[in-house]
Chains A and B, each alone.
Chain A
Amino acid sequence: MQRLLIILILFASCHIFGQTVNTDSLFEPKLRGTPYEFPLGYTGTPFYTDEWLKGDIMTPDGRQISNKLLRYDGYSDLLVWFREEDSLWVQLDPDFIQSFTLYRSNGSVARFKKSPVVLNTAGSFVEFLAGDEYQVFVRRKVAVRGSENRKIEGKVYAFGVWQPQYEYYLLLPDNSSLRFRKINKRSVLEPLPDQYYLVFDDIIRKGHLRLRNEIDLIRLITSINASVK
């Protein structure tokens, strides 16, 4: 009985006093864009994720818009918002987005931002994978690779095939960058200038690191940043 009383006191106090004053959500900026039009004549998906994910958007003036249903279209390099009140898909105006974060159902987070100028990607969105002094980004590009014939009402139509074609960008301390598509030692190490090659090679050898996928790449960059600190 006494324990119940204590729990009740705790709950009551939380209820009475635990309110916080969050004006950010009350005054968050309005999302703006145009209705999204799904590109026709393709198979596959232009989207980075199969489902709508909860996400936050940061505007160029540093204000945050939270908890919206979002999807990234890697084919058109667009962030799409699902306006729940009328189920409208809205392609958001990229001029009003500085960065955005997508929260996956498994708890992992994808942080996208307008790519730094040095990456030479014409301001497209890139996902930040890891980094400090050395940074690694990935452009979640979806490209049309080949075509597929489909018969619709007796007629054969050629459909383009959407496939992910991710591009990785390494941003080095001297603000130079390099781009690669495949993750392996050869494609990452070979284009590196000598002074960086030695750093990467040293960390890979000492740490017995593999370099086959994104997780390996993130581990490598994290190790390099830890070693230069």
Chain B
Amino acid sequence: MKELRHLLIFAIALMFSLRLSGAVAYPSESILIHTDRKLYISGDALFFSLRLIENGEMTEGNFSQFVYVVLRNKSNQAVQKVCLKLSGSKAYGILHLPDTLSSGSYQLVAFTQWMRNFGEKNFAQVDLCIANLFDKELSGFEIPESMVSLNDSISGQQEISGPVSIEGVGNSEYKCGGTVQLKFMLSDTLAKWGDFSISVREAIPGEAFDRSNEKITNYQPFPEKLLFLPEKSNQILSGTVKRKKGSEEKQEIILLSANDSLVNLQYSTTGNPGQFQFELPAYYEGKDLYLYTPGKDSYTMPELELRDKFELMPGSFPNTEKPSEAIINLIRTHQDFARISRYYNLSQDYKFSVKEPEELHQPRMFMSAGSTIYTRDYLPLENFEEISREILPSVQVKKSGSSWSLQVEDEVHHGFLQGNAAVFLNGVLVQDNSEIKEWGSSRIEKIEVLKRLLIYGSLRFEGVVGIMGKEGETMVVPNNPGMIKTRQPLVLNFGRPVFKVNSEKSVKTTPDFRSLLYWDPDFRISGKESGTIEFAGSLHQGEYIVELKGMTSDGRLIHEWKTITITR
């Protein structure tokens, strides 16, 4: 009896420890990715949808909020890359495939930075095939083996079919150019809702839905060290500091400024081993950023190296095979169709719903400057020394040999602040103030002066002088030693594409040869109600595949399909 009691306590302790060890501390993330097609012609639009699954569920407040999508070729070169912000646990987007893409196998990879901790095998991957529009020979062209199967690998999840039924409304055969209606229903009562993306595309000859070889990756090794932080609300920019030989080992301060018309500054201190990280709000998206360490001595200045957030290790590409004659013929037909569509300018057969832009908070160092002058309000002045003497008496230029410094008047105590003021040129801190010597009224739009000592975290500035350039000079930044430049990726926020149902008139007047008839990345059905989609069939007769991918409320991954035929 006593042993049984101890066993019970032991079991409770073990359960408690497992609960602690599990999802709460280190949530596992995987991505369900769905593309509108598997075969594309260069110049096509590639639609995709992403669903982030956290600990086996789609939850509203995901751990990571940013998903990175890379389209890479067999040589592991990224040919397209985008960053998307999740809305709930979903994101969808579009990649425009450039005409310059060569024919061959490609892979669409989607991941979060948090997923990097668990290794790239955990990333969502879809094998695709792209044929160049002008590549008529298609010699040596190979396609991934998975092209003729609808199975993708889904990290750590088992796909099952059955709970969703797809039914045609009305006829089972559809006419070219006619309207197609399909009804989707959850056919069991376990799921309260289903959240899916749907594509209707032309079938690839020999395409089969064989689940027996389904590849399930359940790769979730526990990381020894967390090298990548989750991007919960903002993107994280990270990198390392490389000290020069013989230089002293110390904690470094890394400064970051955006090239802008406001004085802005972020700083980070290095942790072990020389890593630094910045959390950058939406304001920084698409902006040129400059990173540097304080100091003027380029001999001892450490080198900064940024981490490429889109970087992928050489890919584990699938086996490829020579396509059948039927597939080659299909590609050639699609190439012809693409040329016709271009001639008739039919490529834009969808439009996006518009999403509201987010409110941006500007990372100003100070809200209101002590004084602001616009040079246009005064007579032209040759250089900065003249400006300070004639129209900016609160700023004093001090020269010592070739070195320059500025002192700012103290608005509280009057007299000048003891130390040197921090000077910003177009938003970037100037390390060597003599760089602004030649800046006169012809180059300067305005000057902001903060006439007080500013405490900024652990930094201290004895007044601030912000110089903003005139048009044509706004991109000029100081030549700080060791400074590196990067551009923060734009976070794309695609709306939902809306496919029109062709009217009788447009069918008669335009040669509509689409291989993608319908794409909806955000299709939701509730347990009791059915959902219906409606689209126009193209003028190209053949077999089309209705493919549905997503998740039900009870955490089941769904991958369903149905073949429909369009005849003349």
A residues touching B (Cβ–Cβ < 8 Å)? Answer: 2-3, 6, 9-10, 12-14, 16-21, 23, 26-27, 30-35, 37, 60-61, 83, 85, 88, 90, 93, 95-96
Contact = CB atoms under 8 A, between A and B. Distances in A.
10 contacts: A6-B6, A10-B16, A17-B25, A20-B24, A21-B229, A31-B456, A35-B455, A60-B361, A93-B367, A96-B367
Interface string B272-310: 000001110100000000000000000000000000000
Contact of B455 (A18, A26, A83): A83
A212 B454 CA distance: 44
Contacts of B229: 21, 23, 26
Contacts of A12: 17
B189 interface: no
B457 A32 contact: yes
Interface string B553-568: 0000000000000000
B452 interface: yes
Nearest to A31: B457
A17 B366 contact: no
A149 to B, nearest CB: 28
A153 B538 CA distance: 100
Given A17-B20, A19-B26, 16 more contacts: A2-B10, A10-B16, A13-B17, A14-B20, A16-B21, A21-B229, A23-B229, A23-B236, A23-B279, A26-B229, A27-B234, A32-B366, A35-B453, A61-B281, A83-B458, A85-B458
B365 interface: yes
B17 A14 contact: yes
B10 A6 contact: yes
A23 B73 CA distance: 34
Contacts of B452: 34
A34 B455 contact: yes
Given A23-B232, A31-B457, A32-B365, A6 B9 contact: yes
A32 B365 CA distance: 8
A19 B25 contact: yes
B537 interface: no
A38 to B, nearest CB: 13
A26 B279 CA distance: 9
B424 interface: no
Interface string B18-35: 101110111000000000
A27 B25 contact: no
Interface string B407-443: 0000010000000000000000000000000000000
Interface in B223-240: 226, 229-230, 232, 234, 236
Nearest to A32: B456
Interface string B441-455: 000000000001111
Contact of B17 (A10, A20, A27, A30): A10
Contacts of A18: 20, 25
A32 B455 contact: yes
Contacts of A95: 367-368
A32 B278 CA distance: 18
Nearest to A59: B361
Contacts of A19: 25-26
Contacts of A33: 454-455
A27 B277 contact: yes
A61 B14 CA distance: 42
